[in-house]
Every structure is written in C-alpha cells, then in structure tokens.
Amino acid sequence: MAIPQPYLLFLGDVTDPLAAKTARGIHVWRPEQCVGQNRLPNCTVSLGLEDLDIDIAVARGAKTLVLGTANAGGFLPEHWLDRVRSAIRAGMNVASGLHQRLTDIPELAALATEFQVELFDIRHMRPALPVGNGKWRSGKRVLTVGTDCSVGKMYTSLALEAAMRKRGMKTDFRATGQTGILVAGEGIAIDAVIADFIAGAAEALSPANEPDHWDIIEGQGSLYHPSYAGVSLGLLHGAQPHWLVMCHELGRQHTRHLPHHPLVSLEDCVQANLQASRVTSADVQLAGFAINTSNVSEEKAREYCRQVATQFGVPATDPVRFGIEAIATLLNERG
C-alpha cells in the first residue's frame, strides 16, 4: 500500500484532542508532508496548521485527504460525506483508518472511479502476500517489541529512524499499523493480514537491501498479551531482526484491557523475544529499552533507566523525555 503524499488532514468536527491522534502523529513525524488542515465549523481541535479548503489545498499540491480522527464505533459520520465528496471531485485520493470501509459506500466508490482517484481503507487492505520462508536476506533490521501493547513501539521506531538518519545512516521506517502507514506513506496493516501470511508480510516490508541499510520495523502487540501474541510472533519471525528494542511503560500493573493478567517482567520478556527471534535470526541481540516514564518524576525516571541499563548492559531511555540517541549510537557502532 503506497499512499500519495502530501496530505490534507481532515479533523471533522471533533472536540477531543485524543480523537485526532492519527492526524497529530502525521504532523509530528512528517510535517513536510502536511499541506494544511481541514475542519468542520464545530471542530475545536487544531494541529496548528493552516486551515485550507479543498480547492486551495489541491492548488498547493495536496494529493490525499486523510481522515485523521477516530470516533466511537469507527464509522464515517453522515455529515462528513460532503467534504469527502468534494475532495474526490477535486481529484484527491482519500485515506481512512476507520473500521467502516470507504469502498463499502457505493456513492464514494462510484465517484472515485469517475474521477480516477483511490480510496485507501488502511485497516482493511489485504495485499497479496506469500507465506514467510525465513531465508537469510541482506541489510540490517531492527524490530521494536514490547512488554504489552500500547507502550510506544511506533513512537520509538520513528524516533530511532530520525536519530539514525541524523548520523548519516541509511535508514527507513517500515510501518505495520494504520497511523504508521500514514506517516510513512506506505506499509502493511498487519492486523488485517491472515495469520499464515504475517511473517511473509514482514519479509515483504523489509526486503533484502544494501549491507549498510537499516530497516526499523514497527512492532505490534506483545508475546505476553493473550489477545495479540500471534501478530507479535509473526513479526519476530518475518522481520528477521538483527536487533530488538524493548518498549515498556513504567508502573503499568497489568496487561492492557486485561486486569486479571499481570504484566510480564522485563527479564522474561527479553528472553522470550530473543528466543523467538532466533528461529530466523540466530545472532539477534538486544539494542536497548525505550521506556514510557510519563507517570513519574524526571528524577525517578532517570534512576529507573539507569537501573535497567546497568542490569541489562544496554541503553535504557525515555524517547520522549531523554531522546533515543544512545540506542542509535550503539547500533551505529556495533551494527
């Protein structure tokens, strides 16, 4: 899936800043690909971008209208349709991460055909993929993994890509989730891939490359999450990682959405991920820890990171608070 850039970010009429996290993620990580924002009259959320109508955005080069918000149920509100129709008629593609498919709305599908644009239903794209084969391939690969879901694997991957590029390293972020795909402009929504083809999807995302080229592959779920371990294992095998970065939230007491399921220890999670990775990458190593410390003071955060770094002998940092340069440096020196 390759989504034409740059984007016009549509915020609808949302009033909750968290509802616009997809649009905000795109703006934070790819500001150069954001022509502006487009909002309905009652919208109180802003990304700080210029408000543009459809025609002006097209004149400035926008190629895709991105529905950059989430709502309860994941449906496209009826009163948003006029804006989507206008974008299609102006020659813009439309991308959506909602559960409801744009292509399931007959009028939009017909308009897209008439005006020769594409509708991207990111959650539902199912590219033709082979099963994984585990054959060795050239290039270097880093996979972000986690003690749980929603612990910052996408943020860590993007921060690492940026830090490595600053060092002049040949690096690409490989997206496996809907927001990541919109940030990168391409990728595969792994949660829409049939289980037998997850490893093959990871191989397709990070094909053989130059020996000094790095792919930073966005992880999903956790080996220790009863709901999502399958996708995590498929990514571990297909990514064939040389290095893993373990993501964790300090203070989380139980697996997300499962209060009856205690969170795994760092030790057990590291060992399990390394062991699973060795199925296709015998020499895989731990590159470091990316830890969300937002619920403690900076002093406590630094102390915890020091303890983890001492225990495991690799960098431990909060990418938001302290940056991720130490892990990028390790990869540059040892990669």
* Domain count across the chain: 2
For the segment 230-243, the average pLDDT, to the nearest whole number, is: 98
146 within some domain: yes
Q: How confident is the model at residue 86 (pLDDT cuts 50, 70, 90)?
A: very high
Q: Are residues 75 and 149 in the same domain?
A: no
167 within some domain: yes
Q: Which residue has the tokens 């210029």?
A: 50
Between 75-79, 83-87, 261-265, 291-295, the lowest mean confidence (pLDDT) is in 75-79
Q: Are residues 188 and 316 in the same domain?
A: yes
pLDDT at 251 over 90: yes
135 within some domain: no
Mean pLDDT of the chain: 95
Q: Are residues 98 and 169 in the same domain?
A: no
CA dihedral 12, 13, 18, 21 (to 10 degrees): 10
Q: Do 35 and 64 contact (CB within 8 A), yes or no?
A: no
1 within some domain: no
Q: Are residues 120 and 164 in the same domain?
A: no
Q: Name the pTM for this structure.
A: 0.89
Q: Are residues 296 and 200 in the same domain?
A: yes
Between 125-134, 204-213, 326-335, the lowest mean confidence (pLDDT) is in 125-134
Position 277 scores a pLDDT of 98
253 within some domain: yes
152 conformational bin, left if phi > 0, alpha if psi -120 to 50, beta if neither: left
CATH at residue 102: 3.40.50.720
**pLDDT higher at 2 or 83:** 83
pLDDT at 168 over 70: yes
**Burial label, 323 (beta-carbon count in 10 A; 0-12, 13-18, 19+):** middle
Last residue within a domain, chosen from 67, 94, 124:
124
Position 73 scores a pLDDT of 65
11 within some domain: yes
Please report, rounded to a whole number, the percentage of residues in the chain having pLDDT higher than 90.
Answer: 89
pLDDT tens profile 276-310: 999 999 999 999 999 999 999 999 999 999 999 99
pLDDT tens profile 253-265: 999 999 999 999 9
Between 66-70, 82-86, 158-162, the lowest mean confidence (pLDDT) is in 66-70
pLDDT at 70 over 90: no
Q: Are residues 198 and 67 in the same domain?
A: no
Position 42 scores a pLDDT of 92
Q: Are residues 144 and 94 in the same domain?
A: no
Position 311 scores a pLDDT of 98
**pLDDT higher at 37 or 75:** 37
pLDDT at 1 over 80: no
Last residue within a domain, chosen from 75, 96, 124:
124
Between 90-94, 186-190, 195-199, 322-326, the lowest mean confidence (pLDDT) is in 186-190
pLDDT at 72 over 70: no
Position 291 scores a pLDDT of 98
- DSSP 8-state symbol, 177: S
Instruction: Show the domain range for 240.
Output: 140-334
Q: Are residues 317 and 209 in the same domain?
A: yes
How many residues are listed for the chain in this entry?
335
Q: Which helix (H) or strand (E) holds 315?
A: none
Last residue within a domain, chosen from 124, 150, 177:
124
130 within some domain: no
Q: Are residues 190 and 47 in the same domain?
A: no
For the segment 80-88, the average pLDDT, to the nearest whole number, is: 97
Q: Are residues 28 and 70 in the same domain?
A: yes
Q: Are residues 120 and 144 in the same domain?
A: no
Position 178 scores a pLDDT of 87
CA–CA dist 149, 232 (Å, integer): 10
CATH at residue 302: 3.40.50.300
**244: closest CA among 331, 139, 148?**
331
Q: Are residues 47 and 185 in the same domain?
A: no
- In 10 A of CB 66, how many CB atoms? 31
**pLDDT higher at 45 or 191:** 45
- DSSP 8-state symbol, 135: -
Position 335 scores a pLDDT of 86
